[in-house]
Structure 1
Amino acid sequence: MKVDNESFEVGDRIEILKKQGDERVSYPSQVLDILGDNKYMISGPIQKGAIVSLYIGEVIEIAYIRENKGRYNFKAKVFNRDPKGVYTLNVEKIGKIKRIQQRNFYRFNINLPVKKSYKFMVGNKTKNIEEKCLTKDISGNGMKLMCNFRHSVGDRIECSFKLNDILIITDAEVIRVEDFTNSSDFECSIGVKFLDIEKENRESIVKFIFKKERILREKGMI
């Protein structure tokens, strides 16, 4: 995609968000042609090999990601459809582009190895417990860790983990503790929020999430 937040190019990956009852369902799509100002031809949604019907006049949402910037969406109206051969839709943007502000809070489900260190005082001595954990999910603001040591809410820990070739070391605070009954390797999970994480490290996490999510979307897995 172009570096601005309002223009598409042919080949750009997007999402179609369609209301189904009280929920919004996401389908991967792609920009196939630029038809004019605010008008695009896009690939129609397919689920498990079957066409997901959208009708002329139906209002949908188009969502997309600007790498290192965030997630955006806008409302669009279907003004033409061709289900024969390659399923295509012609849509027109009818709403303002909105930036989804909570990109740091978006949690991405992934298992990453994390080294956790917990220092605390026993009498006059400092004790340090280190443990190898796995993330259950991660965001720019924190993560859920599967572990065995039972923490208390408010415990401060140090977490170190790698994202590709980037080593991230940050302090974190335990904000939630839950029993973990569906794993033979871990006894509990803890939700932690990062404390004073460097801006570059936070951006590395967000960029990592966007990249992984884009790969899954291109494979049609989300």
Structure 2
Amino acid sequence: MKYSDLNLGLKLELQLLGYDGRRIDKPFVSEFEWAVGNDTVFIAAPIHEGRLYPVQIGTRVIISFIKENNLFEFEAIVIDRESKHNLALLKIQAIGQIEKVQRREFFRFDCCVPVNYREVQLPKQEFKEDIQFIKTVTRDISGGGLCMRLKEPVEQDKLIECELFITSKINFFGRVVRLTKYDTIQGIYRYEIGVVFEKIDAIVREKVVGYIFQEQRRLLKKG
């Protein structure tokens, strides 16, 4: 895959590297703008807590993205910072090739949005109508899954069907990978579950990542 094959607006995850080559801080959300030549790429400058994050020239980074429901990444170095049409940009020079990698944790965006869920026992029960959805909210969302607040527990390894309400309603199936019980009640919720996407359309996943990027931009404009 060539860098010029990437599409304008492709949602990216940006991970900064320290001088020792180790990943530092948590990943940031970014967006592909355009490529120049074989190894130079312009991406949107990352945002942290509603403000542009000061990435220094010379910083090495890992860029990750989803394409055709696969996760890819490449390493690069920041060679300049620019601004075009009021959009802050990073000019990066790729080091090596784009490589397909195994799934890992994605950037998590803290947000409280409505989500409905119901337990599913077997794949053939996916569309069984007599199991009612339960309404609740998220604690955070990422390109790989989400964290949900619950009044009643759902045990680890359970399969659930979900309706997530962001810019529009999206549907997916997820697997519970973590159950946390609070010693004190967090409002009306006593539990949290970590859910990874088990069955989700590539376009739907892109909508999730796009929503995260959109909300980061909104926070920046809000100041």
Q: Structure 2-normalised TM-score?
A: 0.57
Aligned to 2:96, the other structure's residue is in SS state coil
> Structure 1 regions of 5+ residues with no counterpart?
121-127
Shift of the alpha carbon at 1:184?
0.8
Relative distance call for 1:17 and 1:40 in structure 2 (3 A) is same
* Aligned partners of 1:63 and 1:71 also within 8 Å: no
* Aligned partners of 1:65 and 1:71 also within 8 Å: yes
CA distance in 1, matches of 2:205, 2:56: 33
RMSD, matched Cα: 4.9
Relative distance call for 1:32 and 1:117 in structure 2 (3 A) is closer
Shift of the alpha carbon at 1:88?
7.6
Q: What's 2:65 paired with?
A: 65
Cα displacement string for residues 71-99 of structure 1 (whole angstroms, at most 9, x for unaligned residues): 53323345x65789x99876432312123
Percent sequence identity over aligned pairs: 17
Shift of the alpha carbon at 1:212?
1.5
Q: Quick check: which has more Rg, 1 or 2?
A: 1
Shift of the alpha carbon at 1:130?
6.3
Q: Which amino acid aligns with 1:97?
A: I
Q: What's 1:6 paired with?
A: 3
Q: What's 1:98 paired with?
A: 99
Size of the aligned set, in residue pairs, is 199
Q: Which amino acid aligns with 1:7?
A: S
Q: What's 1:178 paired with?
A: 180
Shift of the alpha carbon at 1:202?
4.0
CA distance in 1, matches of 2:156, 2:13: 38
Pairwise mapping of residues 182-221 of structure 1 onto structure 2 (< 5 A)?
A: 183-192=186-195, 197=199, 201-216=200-215, 218=217
Aligned to 2:211, the other structure's residue is in SS state helix
* Aligned partners of 1:32 and 1:43 also within 8 Å: no
Relative distance call for 1:186 and 1:93 in structure 2 (3 A) is same
Relative distance call for 1:75 and 1:220 in structure 2 (3 A) is farther
* Aligned partners of 2:16 and 2:62 also within 8 Å: no
* Aligned partners of 1:139 and 1:206 also within 8 Å: no
Q: Structure 1-normalised TM-score?
A: 0.57
* Aligned partners of 1:117 and 1:159 also within 8 Å: yes
* Aligned partners of 1:141 and 1:202 also within 8 Å: no
CA distance in 2, matches of 1:28, 1:188: 32
1:145 aligns with 2:148: yes
Shift of the alpha carbon at 1:186?
0.5
Aligned to 1:178, the other structure's residue is in SS state strand
